[in-house]
Structure 1
Amino acid sequence: MKQLHHPDRNDIQLASVLYALSDPVRLYVVSEIRKHGAQACNCFKVPIAKSTLTHHSRTLREAGVVYTQVQGTQRILSLRTEDLDERFPGLLDSVLKAYEMSEPGEGFGEQEQVAEEQG
């Protein structure tokens, strides 16, 4: 089985975390994990292809935002809250608070339109 790379706490870079959190889909995924706890990738209701969600999950994992645990054929995502708070105190809370105060589903409209055009 392929070993998934997770950066060590001290190797998590601010620019990588901010980049990972800059996409509306990834921000939604992080918000859902924060609200409901660790979840399998197929639990997220996003208007994108499965392969695209895999890409987003990988981006979050490689940035150090989430931890991915392999359970059979599923990938369970959990937030690395403790690591992020240690490296960048208050960052995750601030970003998620701003996201949750924004319009529900903000940023998904464009992606739904693209998905409809492709499908």
Structure 2
Amino acid sequence: MSTASVRALEHPTRGEIRLEGVLHALSDPMRLQIVRFLWRLDEDEGAPCSAIELAVTKSTTTHHFRVLREAGVINQVYRGTAKLNALRRHDLDTLFPGLLGAILAADAIQCERDG
């Protein structure tokens, strides 16, 4: 078995991405923090998991990335030993126009309100 096949990660196709899965994935503050970080990057630019500092354990961080990937919110690819993460912005905007931007704008308002 080749290393590439062992290290491949499964992602839903665009047609398999469901609104309820996306909303569930974005309902957690830690996952929103990941999405906010990735939002600032170009869609083709990825960030390793270690670039996104979360105040949780490594296993919990891994869980959050997996939830986002399985919902179709992010794309993860291995580059050497690192996993690069990028938002599936084009797919999400095609399926649910403006949703991601609206959620992040509402989150920013809430963060400002909470101080």
Q: TM-score, normalised by structure 1?
A: 0.83
Matched residue, 1:95: 103
Instruction: Kindly report the root-mean-square deviation, in angstroms, between the aligned alpha carbons of the 2 structures.
Output: 1.3
Deviation readout 1:38-72 (Å, 9 max, x if unpaired): 21101111110111101100000000000001011
Aligned match for 1:79, one of 87, 90, 94: 87
Matched residue, 1:3: 8
Deviation at 1:73, TM superposition (A): 1.2
Stretches of 4+ aligned residues off by more than 4 angstroms: none
Matched residue, 2:50: 42
Give the Cα separation in 1 of the matches to 2:73 and 2:32: 10
Aligned match for 1:56, one of 49, 64, 68: 64
Residue 17 of structure 1 aligns with an amino acid whose one-letter code is: V
Give the Cα separation in 2 of the matches to 1:102 and 1:5: 33
Residue 87 of structure 1 aligns with an amino acid whose one-letter code is: L
Matched residue, 2:3: none
Matched, 1:29 2:34: yes
Give the Cα separation in 1 of the matches to 2:41 and 2:79: 19
Matched, 1:14 2:22: no
Give the Cα separation in 1 of the matches to 2:81 and 2:63: 16
User: Unmatched 5+ residue regions in structure 2?
Assistant: 1-5
